Structure 1
């Protein structure tokens, strides 16, 4: 069993759409989980459906949504304060050192992050690269295992870990819908105008019921 899990993603809702089921499973086992969230997602284009946010109000709304989601998942939240859509322009070593400070204090047995180069969004790739660098910089005897999550898996082959999170799907959906400004727009891709609620539920299960990761292997 893991002793402490640290999740490192750049945006509010990355944790819920990407890993909430796995997080819920760890919490249900009594494993502490800490989320290091890079930005507030303040440059996101989704303003709610119907619209209830604008560019000025969105940062605080997304902050509140993030706090609510983390309360539902029962995780310890730390906001890192980087600017949305600017993580790729940060010095990777500086971000890695920032993250390393948290990791050395928390001493997790597992870190979950994005797989750099295969996570589609530049912020995902940059934060994943910095997280992996942070772990690499640690004493090899104290390094946690890293699970890297790829959105584009085609070139990477079969994931090392495939978690069936259907038993905790309701917990995952609660976390997703805590991100009200984002949830409907993103979940809308799972259905067409003629789909019934039952059909939407089955599509959601197919898309959200498995969470997959690759184990990152360090060469030194």
Structure 2
């Protein structure tokens, strides 16, 4: 059983779409989970139609949505304070040292992050690389689960070695995703009203969100 799990991802909603089921499973076992969220997602594209936000108000909205999601998932939240869409331009070692200091305080047994170069968004790739570097620098390294979802990643990386069936936590995951209302509506479409859908559509949704896959990162030394 894990001692403490730390999730390191760059945006509000990354935790809900990518790992909410696994987080819920850990919490059901009484294992503490802490989310180190990189940014406030202030450069998110969805401003609504009609417009509900602007560049000044969107980060406030997304921060509250993130707090709501973390409440649903019953996990602690720590904001890292980086700016959306700029992590790739930050000094990777500085971010790694920042993360290392936090990890050494928490002493997690497991870190969940993005797989560098296989996580689509530059922020995903950059923060994932910094998180892995942070763990590499530690004297006592936690296990790292890295999540990849770039098109065709399995052809290059093979099959993930951690495949979590989180279908038992489907509703919890959906509730967390729906906390991110400003962004999630455009991503999940009609599933926003998943409780009102027919059984066939609901089953498709469970298949879509019912598995979370990760690679266990292999350090060279």
- TM (norm. structure 2) is 0.93
Aligned-residue offset at 1:189: 8.6
1:48 and 1:173 map into 2 onto residues whose CA distance is: 21
Gaps of 5+ in 2: none
Aligned-residue offset at 1:109: 0.2
| Deviation string, structure 1 residues 50-97 (Cα, Å, up to 9, x no partner) | 642222210100000001000110111000110000000000000000
1:49/1:178 Cα in 2 relative to 1: closer, same or farther (>3 Å)? farther
1:113/1:187 Cα in 2 relative to 1: closer, same or farther (>3 Å)? same
Match of 1:172 in 2: 173
Aligned-residue offset at 1:202: 2.7
For these two proteins, the number of residue pairs brought into alignment is 214
| Deviation string, structure 1 residues 126-172 (Cα, Å, up to 9, x no partner) | 00000000000000xx1000000001233211100110111011110
Which range moved further: 43-52 or 22-31? 43-52
Gaps of 5+ in 1: none
1:148 equivalent in alignment to 2:149: no
1:91 and 1:136 map into 2 onto residues whose CA distance is: 16
Aligned-residue offset at 1:188: 2.2
1:43 equivalent in alignment to 2:43: yes
- TM (norm. structure 1) is 0.93
| Secondary structure, counterpart of 2:127 in structure 1 | helix
2:173 and 2:10 map into 1 onto residues whose CA distance is: 19
1:181 and 1:208 map into 2 onto residues whose CA distance is: 20
2:162 and 2:24 map into 1 onto residues whose CA distance is: 16
| Secondary structure, counterpart of 2:157 in structure 1 | coil
